[in-house]
Every structure is written in structure tokens, then in C-alpha cells.
Amino acid sequence: MHVMKFGGTSLGNAERIRNVARIVEDSRRERPIVVVSAVAGVTDTLLSLLGKKSLSARLRTYEKIAKLHRKIASELGLDEGLLDGTLRDLRFLAAKGASGAKRRDLLLSFGERLCAPLVSGVLREGGVPSEAFPAWELGMITDDAFGKAEPLGNAPQLLRKKINALTVIPVITGYIGRTRKGDITTLGRGGSDYTAAIIGAALSAEKIQIWKEVDGILTADPRLVPEAQIVPELAFEEASELAYFGAKVLHPKAILPAMKAGVPVEVVNTFAPKKAGTTIVSNFRERKQKIRTVEALTFKRNIAAIHIYSPEFFDGNILMSRIFEIFERHHTVVDVITTSIASVSLTVNSGENLSALAKHLEEIGTVAVEHGKAIVCAVGGGVNAAGVAGVMFTALGNAGIPVEMISQAASGVSMTFVVEEKDAEEALKVLHKEYIEHV
């Protein structure tokens, strides 16, 4: 079995959907399990409904979505009534207006629910037995953490049983699930990759293919660095550092289920299906022999650095555990930590409400919060090799970019550091030149 996930851009119009159907058909022998996102832009349009106070504005937005999908269906020569039921439900919800996390997830679920029938419809038209499924019908049962739901413990077992029993090629909605009580949930923006990984792991699939509009995982975001090149092979650890620190190419959660189940993930291009793309393999140690020092670069904006100074740090580790307890209590996730003998610095998302947290931390020592930072992350097999840090920070120094909170993963898989947000893009370009374009 191959799990094949197609992103929104690859499903952006009738022609692209036809192209996706061709790719699926070409893999028919591998028993494809198809997972789809919403048509490009639709989730954002649905989200915009939430901010609209006037009924007529909401209905106009609904009409825009309905028209787009009807147009695609008709260009694909599909049955006119194919989407009627789902569109009726969406219109009802749009008219009513939605607020609150539960309604928001229900509303956002429509993108995938409108897209899957288009893909299975084209497959059927081409003589391939196929059916569209909302993921919960095949076992994607989640907790009720709306906006960031997680599959329940027995979901993989259910998914395996139900998908194995199918006799058609399923086209499954990514990104969404349902609670035991019947409320629809979403797995977080970009979550279709996560759906594909959960399903691939549950089925012990031969591979999970993430089909996109780029050649694979590139050395940097091609929108920022046009010179970015394809990375043919990455280990799970490297890919997850990249995803976590902002590379929009894969959902950060998508790596873990696949890694745990030992199912390889391929990132491939829908517009160039013959190209090999990027393969994410499990074994970092083996890979380490044959790669560049720095394989890929990314950065994450909107970061705040929190510095805690206290003479009591001289006394040992108790303060460390107290600090983590406080972060835990405020449900605030820490990305990077650096320490000295009398201070600890940590980074968090600037978006979090930090004033209560900072106040709490003042029980420990003097606290300073600095906004407007970014974390830059370099991954590769050799970032711990002799001289790498020297070259890296000399290059940044020559470009006049100050750096703080340098931290290196123990296995040598990544180097992260903090810069002013305004310098992040330049830092990425400088390091890309140094490590990728010049070798």
C-alpha cells in the first residue's frame, strides 16, 4: 500500500485534479490510499467567514466557495448534484455565523469535504473504482482539542480494519476527524500531512508520499532563496527539526507517526512525477557519511526570548525544574534553551500571552522578555564537525548580523540560534551561499 497525500496547490483547478487522478491511476498496482487537502485557498476563505459580521457578506463568501467547486465539478464533467448536500450544510452554517472553537472546526472541515468527492469522481470517470470518505468514517476518531486534535489511541486499529476492508481506492479527507460524541475536529493548519502519516503508520504502508508543487524538500524556502536546491535524502531527525523550525514544506507532527512505524516518507512533485523528490529515511547514522555539512536551512519568526537571571542558579538544578514547572503551568512551549551559571534564556512564540508567565517567573529572579526575534536552524549531518561553527558565525559576523542563544543538537543534526527578526532572511541567505551555493 502507498499512502498518497495531495496538497491544495496540486488540487487548485480542474486540470490539476485531472493530473492528480492520473498519478493515482499510474500507481494503481501499489494499492493507493489517497489523502487530500482542500482546494488551494479554500481553508483560508472559510476562515475569513468567521470575521464577517454581516449576513450578506457571509453569504457572498459562501457563494464564492460554492461557485469555485461547482465550476471545477462541471469542468471535470462530474454529476451536477455531486456536492449539493455538503454545500447546503455549508450555506446553513455560513448564514448562521460561527464562533467558538467547535464551530470553527466544523466550518473549516468543509474544504476537504468538498474536495475529496471531486478527486474520487474523476477517478471513477476514468474507470477506476473509487469513493470519497470523510476520515472519521474510516476510523479517524480524535480527542476534543478543537484546532489541534489528536487521534485517540484506538484510531490506528480502527483505520487499519476499515481501510483494509475496502475494495475501492479511497479518497480520504486530510486535516479533519471527529470526536466520539460526533463533533468534527481539525488537526491544526497544514494537518493533511499528519493525516497521511497517521494512516500510513496505521497500515504499515510501504511508503507515504507527500505530493506537492515543489520538487521535494529544498535546501531553503524557494520563495526566499531562489537558488534553493533539492535535498535527495534526509533523516527523520533532520526533517523534523526543519519542519518544527518553520520550513512550511511538511507539517511538524507528520514525521513522528511515520518514524515510529518505520514507514519512509517521500516528498514528490505533482508537476514532475518522474523526478525522485526527497526521501526521508529512518537512519541518521547511516546517512551521515554521505552528506553536506549543512543540508538545509530554515527560520521561524515571531519569537520572544525570555531571560531569567538569578544568583541562586549557583545552587544547582532545583531552579531549572521550577522554571519548567512554571512553563508547564502556563501551557507555554519552549523551543530553544541556553544557560550560563547565573542565567537561563528560553524562546517561546511571541503570540502567547506572556505577561502572566513573566510575572510568575519573577518569583525566581529578574526576568526580561524581548520580542521581535527569530530562530534560525541549520540541519545536516556535520554541523558538529570541527570548524563548522567558526565558519558559520564568521560569515554572519561579516554580514553584520548579531547572533545569540547558540545551541547544537547532541547528535550533530542541527545548529539553532536566535537573531533579530529583521535579520533572519539575510542570515538564511548568507548561510545558503556559504554552505550550499559555494560547495
Choices 3-11, 127-135, 279-287, 413-421 (CB under 6 A): range interacting with ligand ADP: 3-11
Residue bearing cell 497521511: 196
Choices 8-16, 18-26, 123-131, 279-287 (CB under 6 A): range interacting with ligand ADP: 8-16
Partner in contact with 375, chosen from ligand ADP, ligand ASP, Mg ion, none, beta carbon below 5 to 8 Å by kind: none
**What is the C-alpha to C-alpha distance for residues 271 and 337, in angstroms, rounded to an integer?**
41
- Total of residues contacting ligand ASP (CB under 6 A): 12
Q: Which of 218, 243, 291, 323 lies at the binding interface for ligand ADP (CB under 6 A)?
A: 218
Q: Are 201 and 258 within 8 A, CB to CB?
A: yes
**What is the C-alpha to C-alpha distance for residues 262 and 253, in angstroms, rounded to an integer?**
15
Q: Does 53 bind ligand ADP (CB under 6 A)?
A: no
Q: Does 32 bind Mg ion (CB under 5 A)?
A: no
Q: Which of 139, 156, 177, 190 lies at the binding interface for ligand ASP (CB under 6 A)?
A: 190
**What is the C-alpha to C-alpha distance for residues 101 and 79, in angstroms, rounded to an integer?**
34
Choices 4-12, 153-161, 213-221, 268-276 (CB under 5 A): range interacting with Mg ion: 4-12
Q: Does 8 bind ligand ADP (CB under 6 A)?
A: yes
> For residue 282, which amino acid is it?
S
**What is the C-alpha to C-alpha distance for residues 240 and 47, in angstroms, rounded to an integer?**
27
Residue bearing cell 559576523: 397
Nearest approach in angstroms of CB 213 to ligand ADP is 6
Q: Does 111 bind Mg ion (CB under 5 A)?
A: no
- Secondary structure letter of residue 224 according to DSSP: T
Q: Which of 36, 82, 94, 249 lies at the binding interface for ligand ADP (CB under 6 A)?
A: 249
Q: Which of 106, 107, 247, 305 lies at the binding interface for ligand ADP (CB under 6 A)?
A: 247
The residue number with the shortest CB distance to ligand ASP is 192
β-strands 207-212, 265-269: how paired? parallel
Report helix, strand or coil for 132: strand
**What is the C-alpha to C-alpha distance for residues 374 and 371, in angstroms, rounded to an integer?**
9
Burial 235-269 (b: 16+ CB within 10 A, else e): bbbbbbbbbbbbbebbbbbbbebbbebebbbbbbb
Choices 89-97, 162-170, 206-214, 392-400 (CB under 6 A): range interacting with ligand ADP: 206-214
Nearest approach in angstroms of CB 194 to Mg ion is 10
**What is the C-alpha to C-alpha distance for residues 203 and 408, in angstroms, rounded to an integer?**
35
Task: Please give the residue ranges that form the binding site for Mg ion (CB under 5 A).
Answer: 7, 190
Residues that bind ligand ADP (CB under 6 A): 7-10, 37, 190, 212-214, 217-218, 220-223, 247-249, 296
